[in-house]
Chain A
Amino acid sequence: MRHTLREAVSGLRRNLSMTLAVIVTMWVSLTLFGVGLLAAQQVELIKGRWYDQIEITVFLCTADSSGPNCTPGQDATEAQRESVRAALEANPEVEAVFYQSKAEVFEEFRLAYADSPILDSMSAENMQDLFRVALVNPEEYALVQGSVGQMPGVQAIQDLRQYLDPLFEWLNLARWLAVGASALLLLAAGLQIANTIRMAAISRRREIGIMRLVGASNAYIMAPFLLESVLAGLLGAALAGGTLAALQKFVIVDKAKPAIQTVQWIGWDHVALAVIGLVTVALVLSIIPTLIATRRFLRV
């Protein structure tokens, strides 16, 4: 073990400039990769539970809401609600209808704004009960609106995708740019590691030859190289993790959250998940090129 550690550290020092290049490339590429992971999680958060299942939300009248089909100061009656449900279910364009009471809507609201000051001033009575509607063909939004839009007790109809999709397009573009750039950089990092390790192995060719001759196991011969590249990879991952944490603190927590409160923002648990992802990538990217680069020196 002492031998392994000593050789790994001396290898890192001998190739200091190459090692630094590896660490910096790892750092930048893993940061981009982490940003891609965070963007993906942010998209999922905004989509929420319903986005992938339903297209349309039919909001019912409440005492606080106003609309041409509402009786001011009164909730939609049970009879109104049932006739809206019947109309939706009878519509051939509708695939499924889910009703959510005020209490159920408030439950979702509480989850979405768990750490927001808005929550203190809200209760279930401030919520609108609603129907979530899945369509056979998502494009046929207008047909459904036409059939139930004028019914008494319906306050408003909203096509969820109509206003979320442009946002997702941007977020997805950002994510793919980040992931694409990071993929190229990660490839470069992997090649750099392979080169660095190959050079380290060449400079220790004589020792390796003797080790093989006297019967040192492959694991023993490989260990210093693996440790060397894993150390460099983990250092890059640690720097990238630190960068992501800084982004979360200074961009999301300090700036975005106070500025835009209607959206649920990614939290520290999402950052932790992204860091786990990039540590995994760093390990794979340091171990695999090392195994490939040293294979030639270990062939018996």
Chain B
Amino acid sequence: MITFDQVAKTYPGQRRPALSHIDVTIDPGEFVFLVGPSGSGKSTFLRLILREHRATRGSVTVNGHDVGRLPGWRVPRLRRQIGTVFQDFRLLPGKTVHENVAFALQVIGKSGSHIRRTVPQTLELVGLGDKADRLPDELSGGEQQRVALARAVVNAPPILIADEPTGNLDPATSVGIMKLLDRINKGGTTVVVATHDSTIVDQMRRRVIELNAGELVRDQAQGVYGYR
């Protein structure tokens, strides 16, 4: 589903590579934690998948596409196959919960009837069925992240990427979000989560890929956050 083949990335104007010699294969339906200290290259790893950046060397393949060679006009189609959530939720403050989720479908040209059918189902899935008409700032952080998750999966993408999804949440709320990610994964979606949250990684015992200073230092099935 996602393959990194001898991937290196150096940002313009920087001498030290953000990633180097990365060889990783993530199979369809896998759940992967991406761990490592700040600046270890986790975000770069995710950005290469999303084709926000291109690899300096090597190739990144996502769902059969060599994303580095994808022409610019094909990138939107790639991104429709990848749901994304961030630490800061990135909701539109002027739109209700329903509208925020529906927006993701509207802007890729889905029909009104499709939207009216799919959005309530997805809100139900993330446990916000009764809050469709609220505005984001009327919700707790955990609820806002659930809206963001609903927006990420409403188009049923085969891949879900989460960059520090619990970074702004308290531990109890974080567990809820992770359970939701787990549920989405059980539905067949490949999930990649970059996180600092050692408790959750240790509890869930899923595959762990650890980066340090741009190098892959550990790739372990049913791993824990770290040995240290």
Q: Do A and B bind each other?
A: yes
Bitwise, A214-244 to B at CB < 8 A (1) or not (0) is 1111101100000000000000000000000
Interface presence of B198 (CB below 8 A): no
The smallest beta-carbon distance between B137 and chain A, in angstroms, is 14
Check if A296 is an interface residue, CB within 8 A of chain B.
no
Q: Are A214 and B75 touching (Cβ within 8 A)? A: no
Interface string of B90-115 (1 = CB under 8 A from A): 10100000000001101111000000
Q: A3-B107, A210-B103, A300-B52 in contact; A216/B76 too (CB < 8 A)?
A: yes
* Residue B228 CB within 8 A of the other chain: no
Q: Quick one: which of B63-93 are within 8 Å of A by CB? A: 72-73, 75-81, 84, 90, 92
Interface of A is mostly: helix
Question: What interface size band does chain B fall in?
Answer: 20 to 34
Count chain A residues whose beta carbon lies closer than 8 angstroms to a beta carbon of B.
16
A220–B52 CB distance below 8 A: no
Given contacts A3-B106, A220-B107, A300-B51, contact A214 B79 (CB under 8 A): yes
Q: Collect the chain B residues with CB atoms within 8 Å of residue A220's CB.
A: 107-109
The answer for the CA separation of A209 and B107 in the assembled complex, in Å, is 12
Given A300-B72, A300-B75, A214 contacting B92 (CB threshold 8 A): no
Are A211 and B107 in contact, CB atoms less than 8 angstroms apart? yes
Q: 7 pairs across A/B with beta carbons < 8 Å?
A: A209-B90, A216-B107, A220-B109, A221-B107, A300-B72, A300-B75, A300-B76
- Known contacts A214-B104, A214-B151, A215-B77, then 17 further A-B pairs from the complex at CB < 8 Å, ordered by chain A residue: A3-B107, A207-B92, A207-B103, A209-B90, A210-B90, A210-B104, A213-B84, A213-B90, A214-B103, A215-B80, A216-B108, A217-B73, A217-B108, A220-B109, A300-B51, A300-B72, A300-B76
Question: Could you tell me which A residues sit within 8 Å of B by CB distance?
Answer: 3, 206-207, 209-218, 220-221, 300
A-binding residues in B (CB < 8 A): 51-52, 72-73, 75-81, 84, 90, 92, 103-104, 106-109, 151, 155
Which 9 pairs across A and B sit closest by C-beta, in order of nearness?
A215-B80, A215-B79, A216-B107, A214-B104, A215-B76, A300-B75, A211-B107, A217-B76, A300-B72
